[in-house]
Structure 1
Amino acid sequence: MGAVIYDALLLAAVLFFATALALPFNGGRAFAADQYYFPFYLLCVSYVFYAWFWTHGGQTLGMRAWKITLVNADGGQVNWWTATLRFVVALLSWACLGLGFLWCLIDKNKRAWHDHGSGTFLYWRAGEKNSGSK
């Protein structure tokens, strides 16, 4: 959960920046509740944030701090399709009040719903020094 908190803080900053980029297109005014494209835009920014990190080394910055790497079923790097599937199922996990994330507490392999749904695993390198390379 530490990595999730780290990443949430970083994502919040990215979403603030993305909002600042979008404001001129709305006349500099706040977005109204009936402007559905804005939440969709932020969802797309969130997807690109996570999917890019997952497909480029398997680690978000929070995962890197906690020495966690995302790998596919054969231990290799995650591709864009797998990252997309993982992101969508993670959204469903949050929509169920986080039940999909808590699932790892009772799963024999410690996998959450989005791990099962995308065929991915989190590899934790406990005790290793993070030298900046793999």
Structure 2
Amino acid sequence: MPRRFDHLDDVWPAGLGRRLGAMLYDAFLVAAIWLLVTVAHVMVVRFGFGLQAEAVGTGWLQRGTLQLLLLASGFGFFAFCWRRGGMTLGMQAWRLRVQTEDGRPISLGQSLVRYVVAWLSCAAFGLGYLWVLFDAERRSWPDIVSGTRTVVLPK
């Protein structure tokens, strides 16, 4: 059974400002990861398959595999951080943590649900995160659907 986090009575639901701040920090980290993944993909396609420079990125298979790698690497980053300590580097800077409703680290399945619903929340013009302003418990769509909470940690 996974351990419970400490200081459960000292946390409170995260507001929109902190969430957006952490998202901005994490966006820079994910962009760096995506840059490395893209460079590795281009090198494999170019040199591993011996394609000319003009042919790199032209086929649907090349674009499709790159897009899948980008989505998978983004999920890998968030799932690793959320499962390990409940927070990404951006969340650490803003003192946020993702946890289950009873204060435990989230599961891999919950991480996947959070990741997918986070993309949908952004695709809906951010409405999934603006929902924090209307929900009595300050939950976003990823929180609601995955059965998790995003909380602020004490100093």
* TM-score of the pair, normalised by structure 1: 0.88
Candidates 74, 77, 88, aligned match of 1:49: 77
Letter in 1 for 2:38: T
> How far does residue 79 in structure 1 lie from its aligned partner after superposition?
1.2
Q: Secondary structure at the match of 1:108?
A: coil
> How far does residue 33 in structure 1 lie from its aligned partner after superposition?
7.0
Partner residue in 2 for 1:131: none
Structure 1 residues 91 and 33: CA distance shift in structure 2, 3 A = farther
Q: Distance in 2 between matches of 1:31 and 1:85?
A: 30
Q: Distance in 1 between matches of 2:43 and 2:96?
A: 38
Partner residue in 2 for 1:17: 36
| Greater Cα radius of gyration, structure 1 or 2 | 2
Taking only the aligned residue pairs, the percentage that are identical comes to 35
Partner residue in 1 for 2:64: 36
Q: Is structure 2 residue 149 aligned with structure 1 residue 121?
A: yes
Q: Distance in 1 between matches of 2:58 and 2:33?
A: 20
Letter in 1 for 2:58: A
Q: Distance in 2 between matches of 1:64 and 1:33?
A: 40
- The alignment's C-alpha RMSD in Å is 1.4
Instruction: In structure 1, list runs of 5 or more residues that go unmatched.
Output: 129-134
> How far does residue 122 in structure 1 lie from its aligned partner after superposition?
0.8
Q: Secondary structure at the match of 2:86?
A: coil
Q: Distance in 2 between matches of 1:17 and 1:39?
A: 13
> How far does residue 31 in structure 1 lie from its aligned partner after superposition?
2.4
Deviation per residue, 1:42-96 (Å, 9 max, x gap): 0111110111100000000000001101101111111111111111111111121
Q: Distance in 2 between matches of 1:111 and 1:91?
A: 16
Q: Secondary structure at the match of 1:27?
A: helix
* TM-score of the pair, normalised by structure 2: 0.77
Q: Is structure 2 residue 88 aligned with structure 1 residue 63?
A: no
